[in-house]
Structure 1
Amino acid sequence: MLCKEMEQALNDQIKWELWSGYMYLSMSAYFDDQGLSGFAQWMKNQAAEELFHATKFFDYVNEAGGRVKLQTVEEPPHEWESALDVFKEGLKHERKVTSMINDLVDLAIKHKDHATNNFLQWFVGEQVEEEASFDELVGKLKLVGDGGALYMLDKELGARVFTWPAEKE
């Protein structure tokens, strides 16, 4: 059974994961408007991944005897100066998520909630991947600038596919 403090913190994380998906959809819309359909598709996949994360938290709270209480999701930003600025914001955002996950782990340890700590370890590893992905794309965008290579990178990003992981049987 989750203690009330842990339950609230996990509910806050659900909101944050939903907002993350909302923000990445907003970034997708920005890229569509810029004629960068590959970037837009990449961000749609990122949004789907964030919704998957929210669902994992949602299911865990229910399974652990807590109560999910969905909260208001604020409007995300919707304008950026360039593709590079979008990915810089995404990297900054993922670093904040990493900090939030780490805070959840610290809270689980404080309450000696070993089950929640174990559950959160998947997210600890996931955040390493998330930050690395955005960091790599920030580096590539710095290399290509706004020239013709942006078209090639758009095609590369358009090839990304998100597949929901299979449920454990």
Structure 2
Amino acid sequence: MLSKKMQDLLNDQINFEFYSAYIYLSMAAYLQANDLLGCAHWMRVQTQEELMHAMKMYDFVNDRSGRVVLKEIKGPKAEWASPLEAFEDALKHEQTVTGRINHMMDIAIEEKDHATQIFLQWFISEQVEEEASVGAVIQRLKLAGQSPGGMFMVDKELAQRIFTPPPQTSQAPLAPPQKA
């Protein structure tokens, strides 16, 4: 069973993960409007990841006999000065997420909530990958600079990103089992 404090933190993070999806979808819209379809695709894949993160936490709270309480999601920023600025904002956002996950882990350790510690370890590892992935795109965009050819190559590369959801971890069935 989750403590009230941990349940509240997880609910706040569920909300933040949905907000993250909004941010990335807004970035995708900006990039698509600027004819950078590969960059926009990359952001749409990131949107899917954030939604998956929210649902992973949603399932965990329910699996621990907690109560998910959804909250209002504020509107994200809609304009950036450049694709580079959008990806730099994405990195700053991921660093904020990392701090939030680390704070939840600190509380789980303090409360000796071993199940939540194990659960959060996946997100800690995921955040290392998230920051590295956005950082790599930023480096490519900086290398491309103002070169249309370089930007074309980066955009083409980012179009190749594929969303691969991790294996389902929740034990809660979505529908009653069917009898044979």
| TM-score category (smaller protein) | over 0.9
- TM-score, structure 1 normalization: 0.97
What's 1:165 paired with? Answer: 166
Any gaps of 5 or more consecutive residues in structure 2? 172-180
CA RMSD of superposed structures (Å): 1.0
2:8 is the alignment partner of 1:11: no
Q: For the residues of structure 2 that align with 1:155 and 1:137, how far apart are their CA atoms?
A: 12
What's 2:23 paired with? Answer: 23
Amino acid paired to 1:157: L
SS in 2 for 1:167: coil
1:12-41 Cα offsets, whole Å, 9 max, x none, are 000000000110000000011000000010
SS in 2 for 1:80: coil
1:70-102 Cα offsets, whole Å, 9 max, x none, are 010000001000010011000000001000000
What's 1:53 paired with? Answer: 53
Which residues in structure 2 correspond to 1:1-169 (within 5 Å)?
1-147=1-147, 148-167=149-168
Amino acid paired to 2:62: N
| Alpha-carbon offset, residue 3 of structure 1 | 0.6
Q: Which has the larger radius of gyration?
A: 2
Any gaps of 5 or more consecutive residues in structure 1? none
Q: For the residues of structure 1 that align with 2:163 and 2:37, how far apart are their CA atoms?
A: 16
Task: Indicate the percent of aligned positions where both proteins have the same amino acid.
Answer: 51
1:32-67 Cα offsets, whole Å, 9 max, x none, are 100000001000000000000000000000001100
| Alpha-carbon offset, residue 127 of structure 1 | 0.3
Q: For the residues of structure 1 that align with 2:127 and 2:159, how far apart are their CA atoms?
A: 22
Amino acid paired to 2:61: V
Q: For the residues of structure 1 that align with 2:51 and 2:23, how far apart are their CA atoms?
A: 11
Q: For the residues of structure 1 that align with 2:117 and 2:17, how far apart are their CA atoms?
A: 18
- TM-score, structure 2 normalization: 0.92
SS in 2 for 1:26: helix
Q: For the residues of structure 2 that align with 1:93 and 1:18, how far apart are their CA atoms?
A: 13
Q: For the residues of structure 2 that align with 1:116 and 1:161, how far apart are their CA atoms?
A: 29
SS in 1 for 2:39: helix
Q: For the residues of structure 2 that align with 1:106 and 1:64, how far apart are their CA atoms?
A: 19
| Alpha-carbon offset, residue 146 of structure 1 | 2.6
Number of aligned residue pairs = 169
